[in-house]
């Protein structure tokens, strides 16, 4: 890999927009594993092209444009093995995604708010599973419960969070 000196402000922008960029890539690639690989290539390309970004302009729009070309390349490589998207369809899909209101940040904000409303033990359980990526067995041992019981608890918490997130976003859009 080339030695790239990374501007701290640029790197902070890149980190801040990773979730949105990943969502964009995933929506155009459609496969989680491939999207991660493509995003890694995009991140490397963005770091190499950082000098062409003008500070103060829309980083997300710029990075999506760079991503779009990488995604086009991905689909060209894929099309060698089977028939897939053509460039017109990919352009159309990208334009549609770019014209949609950016709900990613809204969802993240709502989720953070909803997480704070959970009782401490429920937040701890969520942190163990989704923050620390602990296996169900380890969590079950920690709480002195069966894996099945932990699975049910996690499902109920996720449903509660989903409901809270939807209500929070709906309440914000009414005003």
So what's the pLDDT on residue 99?
A: 62
Same-domain pairing of 95 and 153: no
- The percent of the chain in helix, strand and coil, each rounded to the nearest 5, is 80, 0, 20
Same-domain pairing of 116 and 90: no
Is the pTM for the entire model greater than 0.85?
no
Three-state SS at 113 = helix
Beta-carbon-side half-sphere exposure of residue 46 (alpha carbons within 13 Å) = 27
Structural tokens at position 67: 């991503």
Same-domain pairing of 14 and 90: yes
Q: What is the DSSP letter of 128?
A: I
The residue out of 36, 65, 99 marking a domain boundary is 99
Same-domain pairing of 72 and 115: no
pLDDT digits (tens, 9 = 90+) for 65-103: 999 999 988 888 876 655 455 667 767 766 766 666 566
Same-domain pairing of 142 and 75: no
Dist. CA 134–CA 55, nearest whole Å: 40
Structural domain of residue 53, as residue ranges? 8-99
């Amino acid at each position: 890999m080339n030695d790239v000196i990374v501007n701290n402000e640029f790197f902070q922008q890149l980190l801040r927009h990773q979730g949105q960029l990943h969502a964009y890539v995933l929506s155009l690639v459609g496969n989680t594993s491939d999207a991660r690989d493509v995003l890694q290539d995009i991140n490397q390309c963005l770091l190499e092209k950082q000098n062409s970004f003008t500070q103060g302009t829309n980083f997300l729009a710029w990075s999506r444009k760079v991503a779009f070309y990488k995604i086009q390349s991905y689909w060209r490589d894929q099309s060698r093995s089977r028939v897939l998207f053509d460039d017109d369809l990919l352009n159309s899909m990208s334009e549609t995604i770019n014209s949609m209101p950016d709900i990613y940040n809204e969802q993240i904000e709502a989720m953070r708010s909803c997480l704070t409303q959970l009782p401490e033990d429920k937040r701890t359980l969520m942190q163990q599973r989704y923050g620390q990526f602990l296996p169900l067995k380890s969590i079950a041992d920690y709480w002195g419960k069966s894996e099945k019981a932990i699975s049910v608890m996690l499902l109920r918490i996720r449903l509660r969070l989903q409901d809270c997130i939807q209500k929070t976003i709906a309440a914000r859009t009414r005003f």
